[in-house]
């Protein structure tokens, strides 16, 4: 056990005296350390708010997407004939009748008994070329011819070479289990396509053709008879395989066919069973042809997804409000004497952030027409609670979606209308001015566009675009605006920035590298660096002071000891 000899002579607890003196003289350093801790906690709280703000803007983007979601109900309960999906489509019903589905061309050959007559061998690993080398050509339904040589002289090798050739076909080998040559090569076009009538020779649309190519020495590649592949030359066309031409032109078993169907009584033809260009925003998938059956597909707003997304926005917003309230809450000790402020109490930056996002969320879209069905979030069921958080009346919100989904969407997003049918608003953003914008555009050859835009008395002229699009200059009042142009014309745009667009722009400015939050945190970091330097300097002085006090008390003890020694000597005389 350590033994202290402090104050042996004087009887004073010198260590305690030094500690008491140093505690008093260290108060300045403690205040600097407390300030540094407060700064660190403030920076962390602001960083939490920044993260939550970024989460809110992501949630708002998800809300935009939810407005484009649609539900599709069908009278075809088992999805036997046709199915559909929809995104951003206009609500409505579509009666679909499928006469025939599109099929892929296929090259194979069998007799009525099911025994392969051509393209078949007894052993898929046995040699199929009787010469030492040979070349082949394959044509898909796209009419593109691919040539190749075998890496493996067998039916398996021919299959692999076809699949590696890049042709628009897929090769496979089927074991029919019948006849002396049960292993049959089957070529299937990768895509469905137009079912043109075969002409017997040449590159014909809708056909799959396989042929051997004459060697460079003009002798034909020789293939085993059971494959029935004839030789040809590559001059853009080549002969159909011997023994298969009858099947090609007569039965049409390998000819691809188009999809034939009708939508609301309008007859249509497509080369694919996936139809995404018949109704804007709706993709139909044709499953089975049967003219006696009609399927009614009803497209409607996906109100559940939109409500869920709206609630998520509110949840993210409320998290920010709750964090701020917690960080500004003052606390008292058990006796109610000492009051400790929150890390963001009286914080000007945090208070300004909360004020701005509250203002946007409770505000109205900028530039929205007075004739709009909905012009504020309160009309959509959003309510401000006593504690400053938001809540959603889902019934009111879904009723608004059922009444006018476009108007609900426009409360949140950037939107624009045009007085000209040849010019429409494709996109805009947080930096795009709202209100009336005059335009004068010229549509030229190949979709080239030139023109000018005028907003608030400022005209941006000499603008150019391609493919029927025209964009406003970067750094202008209309930055982010893009127009779709189909013909020359003049007129007026009415642009509106929804509260979501406003909020995302605000959050972007607050959380950017040069935004209020990062600037404040940067300043805090600089303050803490200065505080660290001051603390280190002050602590060095305190260490010297403590060493000096200890030396003084040690000298005092030594002096007292000497005095006692002298006193003892004098008393003995």
- Cβ-contact 427, 480 below 8 angstroms: yes
Give tens-digit pLDDT for 282-309.
Answer: 999 999 999 899 999 999 999 999 999 9
For residue 132, name the pLDDT band (cuts at 50, 70, 90). low
Per the model's pLDDT, the better-predicted residue between 239 and 63 turns out to be 63
Which two tokens mark 16?
Answer: 């305690």
**pLDDT at residue 572 in the model:** 66
| Confidence at residue 231, expressed as pLDDT on a 0 to 100 scale | 64
Q: Please state the rounded mean pLDDT for residues 130-141.
A: 70
Q: How far apart are CA 262 and CA 282, in angstroms?
A: 15
Closest CA to 138 of 209, 199, 189, 73: 209
231 and 212 in contact (C-beta within 8 Å)? yes
Those residues with Cβ within 8 angstroms of residue 105's Cβ, 6 or more apart along the chain or in another chain: 140, 141, 188, 189, 193, 195, 206, 207, 208, 254, 255, 256
Distance CA(169)–CA(14), nearest Å, equals 98
pLDDT given for residue 227 in this prediction: 77
Residue 217, pLDDT score:
40
Across residues 127-155, what is the average pLDDT?
A: 77
The pLDDT assigned to 463 comes to: 96
What does the DSSP 8-state code read for residue 227? Answer: G
In 3-state terms, the chain is what percent helix, strand and coil (to 5)? 35, 25, 35
pLDDT tens-digit series, residues 411-424: 999 999 999 999 99
Helix (H) or strand (E) holding 436: strand 435-443
Provide the pLDDT for residue 375. 93
Q: What is the pLDDT of residues 485-505, one digit of tens each?
A: 999 999 999 999 999 999 999
Alpha helices in 102-215 (DSSP H): 155-164
Is pLDDT at 43 greater than 80 in this prediction?
A: yes
User: Given this model, what pLDDT does residue 149 score?
Assistant: 81
**Token couple for 479:** 């930055």
Structure confidence at residue 136 (pLDDT):
79
Q: Single out the residue of 172, 169, 173, 166 nearest to residue 147, CA to CA.
A: 166
Please determine, for residue 198, whether its predicted confidence score (pLDDT) is greater than 50.
no
Q: Compute CA 435 distance to the chain's CA centroid, rounded to the nearest angstrom.
A: 30
Q: What's the per-residue H, E or C state across 10-61? A: CCCCHHHHHHHHHHHHCHHHHHHHHHHHHHHHHHHHHHHHHHHHHHHHHHHH
Q: Is the pLDDT of residue 2 over 50?
A: no
Please give the pLDDT value at position 12.
64
For residue 439, the surrounding DSSP H or E stretch is strand 435-443
Sign of the alpha-carbon torsion through 66, 69, 75, 76: negative
Structural domain spans, the chain: 70-102+258-301, 106-251, 414-497
Q: What would the mean pLDDT of 339-346 be, rounded to a whole number? A: 85
Which of the two residues, 28 and 530, has the higher pLDDT score? 530
399 near 364, Cβ under 8 Å? Answer: no
Residue 204: per-residue pLDDT: 39
Average pLDDT of the residues in 360-376? 91
Q: What is the model's pLDDT at position 262?
A: 96
| 448 has pLDDT over 90 | yes
Task: Report which of 218, 374, 409 is spatially closest to residue 302, judged by C-alpha positions.
Answer: 409
Lowest average pLDDT, out of 61-70, 219-228, 391-400, 529-538, goes to 219-228
pLDDT for residue 70 is more than 90: yes
Looking at per-residue pLDDT, the higher value among 162 and 10 belongs to 162
Cα angle, residue 347 at apex, residues 344 and 353 outer, rounded to 5°:
100
Q: pLDDT tens digit string along 71-106?
A: 999 999 899 999 999 998 888 999 999 999 987 766
**Residue 272's pLDDT band (cuts 50, 70, 90):** confident
Comparing 47 with 528, the larger pLDDT belongs to 47
How far is Cα 283 from Cα 272, in angstroms, rounded to an integer? 12
Q: Mean pLDDT, to the nearest integer, of 454-482? A: 94
Q: How does the average pLDDT of the chain come out, rounded? A: 83
Whether 377 and 502 have beta carbons less than 8 Å apart is answered as no
* Mean pLDDT computed over 517-540: 86
What kind and span of H or E run contains 286?
Answer: strand 282-286
Average pLDDT over residues 537-559: 80
Q: Give 10's pLDDT tier (boundaries 50, 70, 90).
A: low
Q: 248-252, 498-502, 521-525 — which one is most confidently predicted on average?
A: 498-502
Q: What is the reported pLDDT for 181?
A: 87
Q: What tokens does 414 get? A: 């950037």
So what's the pLDDT on residue 205? 43
Query: Residue 233: which pLDDT band, with cuts at 50, 70 and 90?
Result: low
The residue behind tokens 């300045």 is: 28
Highest mean pLDDT among 97-111, 251-265, 453-467, 547-561: 453-467
pLDDT, position 187:
80
Q: What pLDDT is stored for residue 253 in this prediction?
A: 47
pLDDT at residue number 255: 63
pLDDT at 195: 44
Inter-residue contact 390 to 361 (CB < 8 Å) = yes
pLDDT of residue 492: 96
Place of tokens 């606390």: 331
């Amino acid at each position: 056990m350590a033994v202290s000899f402090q104050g042996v002579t004087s009887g004073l607890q010198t260590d305690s005296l030094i500690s008491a003196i140093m505690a008093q003289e260290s108060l300045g350093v403690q205040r600097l350390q407390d300030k540094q801790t407060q700064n660190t906690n403030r920076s962390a709280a602001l960083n939490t708010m920044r993260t939550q703000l970024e989460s809110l803007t992501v949630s708002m983007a998800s809300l935009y997407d939810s407005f484009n979601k649609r539900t599709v109900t069908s009278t075809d309960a088992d999805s036997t004939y046709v199915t559909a999906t929809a995104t951003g489509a206009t609500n409505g019903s579509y009666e679909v009748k499928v006469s025939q589905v599109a099929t892929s061309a296929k090259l194979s050959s069998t007799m009525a008994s099911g025994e392969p007559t051509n393209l078949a061998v007894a052993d898929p690993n046995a040699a199929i070329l009787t010469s030492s080398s040979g070349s082949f050509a394959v044509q898909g339904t796209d009419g593109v011819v691919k040539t190749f040589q075998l890496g493996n002289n067998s039916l398996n090798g021919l299959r692999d070479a076809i699949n590696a050739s890049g042709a628009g076909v897929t090769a496979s080998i089927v074991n029919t289990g019948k006849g002396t040559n049960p292993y049959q090569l089957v070529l299937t076009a990768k895509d469905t396509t137009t079912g043109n009538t075969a002409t017997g020779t040449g590159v014909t649309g809708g056909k799959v053709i396989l042929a051997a190519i004459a060697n460079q020495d003009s002798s034909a590649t020789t293939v085993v008879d059971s494959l029935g592949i004839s030789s040809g030359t590559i001059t853009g066309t080549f002969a159909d395989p011997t023994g298969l031409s009858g099947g090609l032109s007569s039965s049409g078993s390998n000819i691809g066919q188009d999809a034939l169907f009708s939508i609301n009584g309008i007859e249509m033809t497509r080369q694919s069973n996936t139809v995404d260009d018949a109704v804007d925003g709706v993709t139909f998938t044709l499953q089975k042809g049967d003219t006696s059956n009609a399927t009614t597909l009803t497209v409607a707003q996906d109100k559940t997804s939109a409500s869920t997304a709206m609630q998520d926005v509110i949840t993210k917003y409320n998290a920010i409000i709750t964090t701020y309230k917690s960080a500004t809450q003052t606390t008292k000790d058990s006796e109610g004497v000492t009051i400790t402020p929150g890390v963001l109490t009286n914080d000007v930056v945090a208070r300004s952030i909360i004020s701005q996002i509250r203002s946007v969320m409770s505000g109205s879209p900028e530039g929205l027409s007075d004739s709009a069905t909905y012009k504020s979030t309160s009309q959509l069921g959003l309510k401000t609670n006593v504690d400053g958080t938001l809540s959603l009346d889902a019934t009111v919100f879904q009723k608004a979606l059922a009444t006018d989904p476009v108007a609900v969407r426009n409360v949140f997003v950037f939107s624009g209308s045009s007085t000209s049918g040849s010019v429409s608003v494709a996109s805009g953003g947080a930096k795009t001015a709202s209100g009336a914008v005059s335009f004068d555009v010229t549509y030229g050859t190949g979709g080239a566009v030139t023109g000018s835009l005028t907003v608030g008395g400022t005209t941006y002229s000499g603008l150019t675009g391609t493919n029927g699009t025209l964009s406003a200059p970067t750094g202008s009042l209309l930055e982010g605006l893009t127009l779709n142009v189909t013909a020359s014309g003049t007129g007026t745009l009415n642009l509106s920035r929804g509260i979501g667009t406003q909020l995302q722009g605000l959050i972007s400015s607050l959380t950017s590298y040069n935004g209020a939050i990062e600037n404040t945190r940067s300043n805090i970091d600089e303050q803490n660096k200065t505080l660290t330097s001051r603390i280190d300097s002050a602590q060095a002085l305190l260490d010297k002071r403590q060493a000096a006090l200890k030396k003084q008390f040690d000298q005092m003890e030594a002096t007292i000891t000497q005095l006692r020694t002298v006193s003892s000597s004098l008393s003995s005389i």
